Amino acid sequence: MPEVRALNKAAGEPATLLSVSGIDVGYGRVGVLQDVSLAVVEGQICAIVGSNGAGKSTLLKAISGLLAPTKGEISYQGESIGGLSPARIVQKGLLHVAEGRRLFRHQSVRSNLDLGLYGAGLTREDERGRLTEVLGMFPVLSEKLDLAAGGLSGGQQQMLAIGQALMRSPRLLMLDEPSLGLAPVVVDQVLETLQKLRSQGCTVILVEQLVERALEICDACVVMQHGRVIGRGTADEVTASGLIEHAYGAV
């Protein structure tokens, strides 16, 4: 397996925005991740795939500071972020859209978007600018600003959950199963949005059960099984290696 590359722009290497080195993570005494390492290159979409229970969500929670690794290092923009609170990590532009679209269902679409800016310390003018940008990305939400989030369709709720994160202009956006429960045409829209974000320079980590769809749009892929990384490479490399089938076959 290739070693995790360090931030090394000067040498013409791709710039690593996030690097996870040898982390162990668990819940209380229950160990889940073992010796997980990966590097995410700035401006790319990195897909993380693996069957249910492989540890994908646990990995995202560790990166966003919700779970503390018992071993190893996580660095972002060349600095260690291990031990920082989730709020500090968000302030650095690293956003996590959790599984299951955690919105305030009884609050309006507008309030949910505004909540994305909680603690950001922007001027009113900048806040309005962000809202305009996000609504430009998801025009359907502009017609629904005063409706309760819980009344939106599943696809619109997913757009809102992503929109809430985009209010912070993330440098690195992590999405956990964004297509869950969505109709295929809506999945297309979500994946198109991620490609658009990449074209604007945003780096994306995508955890996705629709593996083939994730492989179509990703620049790099990490395959997990039983709490470990069992392979990484381009979509073609991991497909040709048979690792994907292995990861899903051996449940």
Ligand X SMILES: Nc1ncnc2c1ncn2[C@@H]1O[C@H](COP(=O)(O)OP(=O)(O)O)[C@@H](O)[C@H]1O
Q: 54 vs 84, which CB is nearer to ligand X?
A: 54
Minimum distance from CB of 224 to ligand X (Å)? 7
For CA atoms 105, 133, 172, 242, the dihedral sign is positive
Residue placing its CB nearer to ligand X in the complex, 240 or 251: 251
Report CA Rg, the chain. Answer: 18
Residue number, 57 or 64, with CB nearest to Mg ion: 57
Q: Among ligand X, Mg ion, none, what binds residue 170 when CB lies within 5 to 8 Å by partner kind?
A: none
- Binding partner of residue 32 among ligand X, Mg ion, none, CB under 5 to 8 Å per kind? ligand X
Tell the residue number behind the tokens 């979509």, with chain if given. 235
Kindly give, in sequence order, each residue whose CB lies less than 8 Å from that of residue 80, ignoring residues fewer than 6 positions away. 73, 74
Query: Residue 27 binds which one of ligand X, Mg ion, none, with CB within 5 to 8 A depending on kind?
Result: ligand X
Sign for the CA dihedral angle at 36, 47, 163, 131 comes to: positive
Least CB distance to Mg ion at residue 2 (A): 25
Based on CB atoms, which residue is closest to Mg ion, 51 or 241? Answer: 51
Residue 243: which of ligand X, Mg ion, none does it interact with, CB under 5 to 8 A by kind?
none
In angstroms, give the least distance from the CB of 61 to ligand X. Answer: 8
DSSP 3-state assignment of 39?
A: strand
Please give the structure tokens belonging to residue 120.
């950001």
Q: Which does 55 bind (CB under 5 to 8 A by kind): ligand X, Mg ion, none?
A: ligand X
Least distance (Å) from ligand X to the CB of residue 7? 27
Strands 203-207 and 220-225: unpaired
Are 97 and 170 a contacting pair, CB within 8 Å?
A: no
Nearer to ligand X, 16 or 37 (CB): 37
**Residues near ligand X (CB under 6 A):** 27, 30, 32, 50, 52-58
Please, what is the minimum distance in Å from the beta carbon of residue 251 to Mg ion?
14
Which CA distances in Å does 234 have to 36, 74, 162, 166, 225?
18, 22, 25, 26, 18
